[in-house]
Chains A and B, each alone.
Chain A
Amino acid sequence: MTNVLLIVFTISLLYLGIATRLLTYIKIFAFQGLLLFGVSFIELTHITTLNLIFILLETIIFKTIAVPLFMNYVIKKNKITRDADPYLPSFISLIIITIIIIITFILSNAINASQISKIYFVVAHSALFAGLYIIISRRKIITHVMGFLIVENGVFILSLAVGNKMPMLLNTGILLDFFLSFLVLGIFVNKIKDVFKEPDMHTLSQLRD
């Protein structure tokens, strides 16, 4: 069952590559949050109940509901245009993300570890590098935050793979989510809009030698 969920997660990364509207991105996030909820619900059987509740709340309330709503609010408040503004056509994005997935797949065959199952490794790293790719290939600041959230999801999956025996680490991973992606980045997007009229990345390139 977790395999199915994780594979669907990977497919959602491909869909992210060709999505052009910001609203689609937000919907993909909510969907990914739901998938992560499923994976952690099935997978994390050996940790204490309190920890489990904490993680489940984090995925379902935070990733599936709060972040998408907050993103929506930021986009509406700052009147950000609805297009994702990629530098490259979506066809090339699709190919690049596919290549990322294939490379992580090949890499994962090189490992022979008993502690971590390969599918987690593949999906986590695909999400990580796909997120980084989204960051460098999109023009808007809000899409950078979205790329960062994809990276976060990748790290969350990786920590799930190890997390069965290490609840402490898992909790710190969740702390990362709470602290940065949600509060600070969102607030700063608002601030940037106050100072600059255009919240695009090219407005943030004045500091140089």
Chain B
Amino acid sequence: MPLYYFIFSIALIGGLFFARSKMWHLILLILFNMLQWGFTIYECFHYNEVQLGYFTVDGVGLIMLIVLSILTTTSSYHSVGYLGHQHKFHTTPLRAQAIYYAALGLLIMAQTGAFLSSHIAGTWIFVELTTFAASVLIYHERTEYAIEAAWKYLFVCSIAITFAFIGILFLSISAQEAGTINLSYQSLIQHAATFNPFWLKPAFLFIIVGYSAKMGLFPMHTVCIDAHTVAPPPISAFISTTLMNVGFVAIFRAYTIIASTSILPWANNILLIAGTLSVFVAAVYLLRVNHFKRMSAYSSLENMGIVAIGLGSGGIGYFAIFLHLIFHSFTKASLFYQIQQVHRVYKSYMIRDSGSYFKYYTAGAMVILLVFICITAMPPSGMFISEFMIFRAMFERHYIGLLIFILILLTLAMWALAKNFFRLIYAPPVNFDSSHVEKIGLKESLSQFILLALVIYLGVNPPQQMVDLINEAIKNLPH
């Protein structure tokens, strides 16, 4: 089945690339969504099967695949809106639109492959492919900023991905010493206990530094931030959510290999350091940020930092990070979709140009308000539950000092987010001509409401299937 998926999606991507009419783009995009959903539903029923030699649908892969498919639909919808709007005001040529749609399809396909790959080199190849697709999309608006961000993203991600490859090479050296040359995750986890820790340490270090560019974690987070700033908002929604999940999955799978070896405490410390520094950097920059999309990007950095801390703390933290990633994906995606509409009202992403959003578009202001509640982890947001569990894990590990430090940083971040969001919603705008405000229909905010409702519902009342899937995903980790 993955074979058919890849063949059909490549055919559709080719079609999107060569089609030069809006009608065809729309038809092919709908077909692509149907393919994505069909494949996702098929995989739900073929759980833990080895397919095509290099693909297995395990708990981690399936959770992330479902999140990806949901966001594929919403992002496709908003992409059509975004390009239609751009086309009206800036006349995006059809060729640029075709490249946009084709790259979007490629990005989705590459992410699907990265989630399902059961071979460490397979994951790596698909992550490589996401870099390529994402940099084409970042370049979409073809401004000076766009080219700068696209170049930096491409270059730094290439270097980072090379680092990850070196990590995989080190891992393979230790695997060879232990007498196996099979680099599938299953085999690596089985043999991990016999691996030489001397090679495992640099392997893990290189892998975490390499994939941190994708996950948007310290130390390679900077390119992600720049990429968010200029990418079209539906794409920012991807880079900030599912693409970060791709980086997470790659790191998580490496961590699962490490988990049964003697260097686990060392790896936990590395994750705690990376996570804490991420939260620290995010909090510091959130306090002085003046651009809505950069603000959202730093908020993603903060959340990925929390995820890394959760992974490093262990215990109930393992369960919590999956919840956190799911909820963060939905919340952050709706924020980016809404920012696009904010931009249509104020014609600017700058925080200082905004204000009185309630007056101009009430439904949008409601979305912003709900996003604020969800992203700062206030009840009834699902993120409250996941963050609470992560803090509990830290408490159980007696990381009290670190916990207090993180909580102070999170409070600062919360204050900064509140200041900017409430300015957007309530404060009267400065030098704003309100005579030509564009009317936006409620239907364009509908997907945001659905996603946010999911965040709240899944947090309050998690379905048993989801809990089982997460437990399945973390079954190889120490309890």
Q: Which of B42-50, B98-106, B120-128 contacts A (4 or more CB under 8 A)?
A: B120-128
Assess whether A192 is in contact with B121, with CB atoms less than 8 Å apart. Answer: no
> Mostly helix, strand, loop or mixed at chain A's interface?
helix
Of all chain B residues, the one with the shortest Cβ separation from A125 is B166
Minimum distance in angstroms from A90 CB to a CB of chain B = 24
Residues of B within 8 A of A (CB): 121, 124-125, 128-129, 131-132, 135, 139, 142, 144-145, 147-152, 154-155, 158-159, 161-162, 165-166, 168-169, 172-173, 176-177, 181, 183, 196, 198-199, 226, 229-230, 285, 288-291, 294
Q: List 17 A-B contacts (CB under 8 A).
A: A115-B173, A115-B177, A148-B159, A158-B169, A166-B176, A166-B183, A172-B165, A176-B162, A179-B128, A179-B129, A180-B154, A188-B154, A191-B139, A207-B229, A209-B289, A209-B290, A209-B294
Known interface pairs A158-B166, A175-B125, A179-B128. Does A169 touch B151 (Cβ–Cβ under 8 Å)? no
> In the complex, what residues of B have CB within 8 A of residue A144's CB?
155
- Find A192's partner among B151, B158, B176, B183 (CB 8 Å cutoff): B151
* A-B residue pairs, 6 tightest by C-beta: A204-B148, A207-B226, A172-B121, A180-B158, A115-B176, A195-B147
Assess whether A168 is in contact with B132, with CB atoms less than 8 Å apart. Answer: no
> Mostly helix, strand, loop or mixed at chain B's interface?
helix
Assess whether A166 is in contact with B162, with CB atoms less than 8 Å apart. Answer: no
Minimum distance in angstroms from B95 CB to a CB of chain A = 15
Instruction: Please give 10 more A-B residue pairs, beta carbons under 8 A apart, in addition to A175-B125, A196-B144.
Output: A141-B151, A148-B159, A155-B162, A155-B166, A162-B172, A173-B165, A176-B162, A180-B158, A204-B152, A209-B288
Rounded to whole angstroms, the CA-CA distance of A148 and B285 in the bound complex is: 30
- Find B151's partner among A152, A168, A188 (CB 8 Å cutoff): A188
Rounded to whole angstroms, the CA-CA distance of A144 and B155 in the bound complex is: 9
How would residues 131 to 159 of chain A score, 1 for a CB under 8 Å from any chain B CB and 0 otherwise?
01001000001001000100110010011
A8 within 8 A of B: no
Assess whether A148 is in contact with B144, with CB atoms less than 8 Å apart. Answer: no
Of all chain B residues, the one with the shortest Cβ separation from A152 is B162
Known interface pairs A155-B166, A209-B289. Does A176 touch B161 (Cβ–Cβ under 8 Å)? yes
- Find A162's partner among B124, B139, B152, B173 (CB 8 Å cutoff): B173
- Find B169's partner among A113, A169, A185 (CB 8 Å cutoff): A169
Known interface pairs A128-B166, A148-B158. Does A169 touch B172 (Cβ–Cβ under 8 Å)? yes
Assess whether B168 is in contact with A169, with CB atoms less than 8 Å apart. Answer: yes
Residues of A within 8 A of B (CB): 111, 113-116, 128, 132, 135, 141, 144, 148, 151-152, 155, 158-159, 162, 165-166, 168-169, 172-173, 175-176, 179-181, 184-185, 188, 191-192, 195-196, 203-207, 209
Of all chain A residues, the one with the shortest Cβ separation from B146 is A195
Of all chain A residues, the one with the shortest Cβ separation from B125 is A172
Of all chain A residues, the one with the shortest Cβ separation from B155 is A144
- Find B148's partner among A132, A172, A180, A206 (CB 8 Å cutoff): A206
> In the complex, what residues of B have CB within 8 A of residue A115's CB?
173, 176-177
Known interface pairs A172-B121, A204-B152. Does A184 touch B135 (Cβ–Cβ under 8 Å)? yes
Rounded to whole angstroms, the CA-CA distance of A175 and B161 in the bound complex is: 12
> In the complex, what residues of A have CB within 8 A of residue B289's CB?
209
> In the complex, what residues of A have CB within 8 A of residue B129's CB?
179
Rounded to whole angstroms, the CA-CA distance of A166 and B198 in the bound complex is: 20
Assess whether B183 is in contact with A168, with CB atoms less than 8 Å apart. Answer: yes
Assess whether B176 is in contact with A195, with CB atoms less than 8 Å apart. Answer: no
- Find B147's partner among A132, A180, A184, A191 (CB 8 Å cutoff): A191
Assess whether B173 is in contact with A116, with CB atoms less than 8 Å apart. Answer: yes
Assess whether A111 is in contact with B165, with CB atoms less than 8 Å apart. Answer: no
Assess whether B183 is in contact with A207, with CB atoms less than 8 Å apart. Answer: no
Assess whether A184 is in contact with B154, with CB atoms less than 8 Å apart. Answer: yes
Assess whether B144 is in contact with A185, with CB atoms less than 8 Å apart. Answer: no
Rounded to whole angstroms, the CA-CA distance of A111 and B162 in the bound complex is: 22
Of all chain A residues, the one with the shortest Cβ separation from B227 is A207
Assess whether B121 is in contact with A159, with CB atoms less than 8 Å apart. Answer: no
> In the complex, what residues of B have CB within 8 A of residue A172's CB?
121, 124-125, 165
Assess whether B148 is in contact with A169, with CB atoms less than 8 Å apart. Answer: no
Assess whether B173 is in contact with A148, with CB atoms less than 8 Å apart. Answer: no
> In the complex, what residues of A have CB within 8 A of residue B135's CB?
184
Assess whether A207 is in contact with B148, with CB atoms less than 8 Å apart. Answer: yes
Rounded to whole angstroms, the CA-CA distance of A163 and B139 in the bound complex is: 36
Assess whether A179 is in contact with B173, with CB atoms less than 8 Å apart. Answer: no
Assess whether B198 is in contact with A111, with CB atoms less than 8 Å apart. Answer: yes
Rounded to whole angstroms, the CA-CA distance of A54 and B211 in the bound complex is: 28
> In the complex, what residues of A have CB within 8 A of residue B229's CB?
207
Rounded to whole angstroms, the CA-CA distance of A165 and B172 in the bound complex is: 10
Minimum distance in angstroms from A17 CB to a CB of chain B = 20
Assess whether B121 is in contact with A206, with CB atoms less than 8 Å apart. Answer: no
Minimum distance in angstroms from B338 CB to a CB of chain A = 22
Minimum distance in angstroms from B10 CB to a CB of chain A = 16
> In the complex, what residues of B have CB within 8 A of residue A188's CB?
147, 150-151, 154
Assess whether A166 is in contact with B147, with CB atoms less than 8 Å apart. Answer: no
- Find A159's partner among B150, B152, B169 (CB 8 Å cutoff): B169
Of all chain A residues, the one with the shortest Cβ separation from B176 is A115
Assess whether A165 is in contact with B181, with CB atoms less than 8 Å apart. Answer: yes
Rounded to whole angstroms, the CA-CA distance of A116 and B289 in the bound complex is: 48
Of all chain B residues, the one with the shortest Cβ separation from A183 is B132
Assess whether A113 is in contact with B147, with CB atoms less than 8 Å apart. Answer: no
Of all chain A residues, the one with the shortest Cβ separation from B181 is A165
Minimum distance in angstroms from A80 CB to a CB of chain B = 15
Known interface pairs A115-B173, A155-B162, A207-B229. Does A168 touch B148 (Cβ–Cβ under 8 Å)? no
Rounded to whole angstroms, the CA-CA distance of A203 and B147 in the bound complex is: 11
Of all chain B residues, the one with the shortest Cβ separation from A173 is B165
Minimum distance in angstroms from B57 CB to a CB of chain A = 22
Rounded to whole angstroms, the CA-CA distance of A187 and B229 in the bound complex is: 22
- Find A207's partner among B142, B149, B166 (CB 8 Å cutoff): B149
Minimum distance in angstroms from A112 CB to a CB of chain B = 9
Rounded to whole angstroms, the CA-CA distance of A23 and B9 in the bound complex is: 42
- Find B172's partner among A141, A155, A166, A196 (CB 8 Å cutoff): A166
Minimum distance in angstroms from A124 CB to a CB of chain B = 9
Minimum distance in angstroms from A191 CB to a CB of chain B = 6
